[in-house]
Amino acid sequence: MNDVIILGSGPGGLTAALYCARAGKSTLVLGGNTLGGQMSTIAELENYPGFLGSGAALSEKMKSQAEMFGAKVIFASVKVIKNKESGFAVITDDGKEYESRAVIIATGASPRKLEIAGTREFMGRGVSYCATCDGFFYSGRNILVIGGGNSALNDALYLANIAKSVKILYRKDSFARAEKVLIDRVNATENIFVMWNTELAEVGGDDSGVTFATTTGGDKIDCDGVFVAIGHEANTDYLPESIKRDELGRLIPEELPAGMFVAGDVRSGLKMQIATAVGTGCDCAMDAVAYLNRK
């Protein structure tokens, strides 16, 4: 029996692990398939205080620090959570069961899928949701980036160093949600072009992969790849429907049952930043420790 099980190994989960372990609680992190979650896909961090480097490097540092105080990290994903008289039972995708007196949910969010003709057919053959994962395959080629927030602009800037040309397609007439520093960099990058008030209707190609995309206005754009960055959806499918979510599917801390806490991008009302994930990881870990001390 663990004192606390933390679901997710992103910045929220690893921060929670550090605080719980330092408080002397037996702490198990079920880290999913990838250490760091969305953080691990960031090629270069500029806005996390005191650290300059890749998200993957910061993930390793956070994991090592939590382990230094006794936290244990296992790479498995939660499939089901069950209530037990003593707390909770967590069943993972490999069929194993782990028990704890408290659970911290930090499973983050996954990229929202672009549901138009061709995106499923060409997934992995020209359609991607991860620029740092797949950008290497598009060296010297012409690609599209779909979206207009920070994620889309960061992806475009990263890909501009690899691809021949990058076209950002955005459904609005300005980058109202993006940071000015990113907008300025996009505007200053010679091989990035912006198509305003534009949405895709179809992605097409042949056996070799994507070769074109068609807009809702009927225009055909020749391209070799499409990178999608249109937001995220909370990872909460393993939870019962009785647990209340907000309009974006994220968890509301006050609505969770006793002994269950939430951190990071899966938490309602949170701006999706590493710094805010770390803050909520600290916050809910301290609440979890107080809860355990009362029992």
Question: In the structure, what pLDDT confidence band is assigned to residue 133 with cuts at 50, 70 and 90?
Answer: confident
Active-site annotation holder among 93, 134, 282, 287? 134
Answer whether residue 274 shows pLDDT above 90.
yes
Residue 43 has pLDDT above 80, yes or no: yes
Concerning whether 223 is annotated as a catalytic residue, the answer is no
pLDDT at 193: 98
Given the structure tokens 């991860």, which residue do they identify? 130
In this predicted structure, the answer to whether residue 209 has a pLDDT above a threshold of 80 is: yes
Over the chain, what is the mean pLDDT? 95
Q: Can 134 be counted among the known catalytic residues?
A: yes
93-101's contacts with Cβ under 8 Å and 24+ in sequence apart are: 98/2, 98/5, 98/28, 98/30, 99/1, 99/2, 100/1, 100/2, 100/3, 100/4, 100/5, 100/28, 101/1, 101/2, 101/3, 101/4, 101/259, 101/292, 101/295
Provide the pLDDT for residue 280: 98
Q: What is the pLDDT of residues 229-251, one digit of tens each?
A: 998 899 999 998 899 999 889 99
pLDDT above 90 (res 44): no
Q: Provide the pLDDT for residue 11.
A: 98
CB distance 146 to 155 below 8 Å: no
Question: What is the CB neighbour count within 10 angstroms for residue 244?
Answer: 11
**Over residues 166-182, mean pLDDT:** 96
Q: Is the pLDDT of residue 295 over 80?
A: no
> Residue 155 catalytic?
no
Among the listed residues 20, 93, 94, 130, the single catalytic one is 130
- 133, 184, 237, 246: which one is catalytic? 133
Distance from the Cα of residue 225 to its chain's centroid: 21
pLDDT value, residue 5: 98
Mean pLDDT value across residues 28-41: 93
Q: Which residues pair with 272 in a beta bridge?
A: none
Query: What pLDDT does residue 102 have?
Result: 98
User: What gap in Å lies between CA 47 and CA 1, rounded to an integer?
Assistant: 38
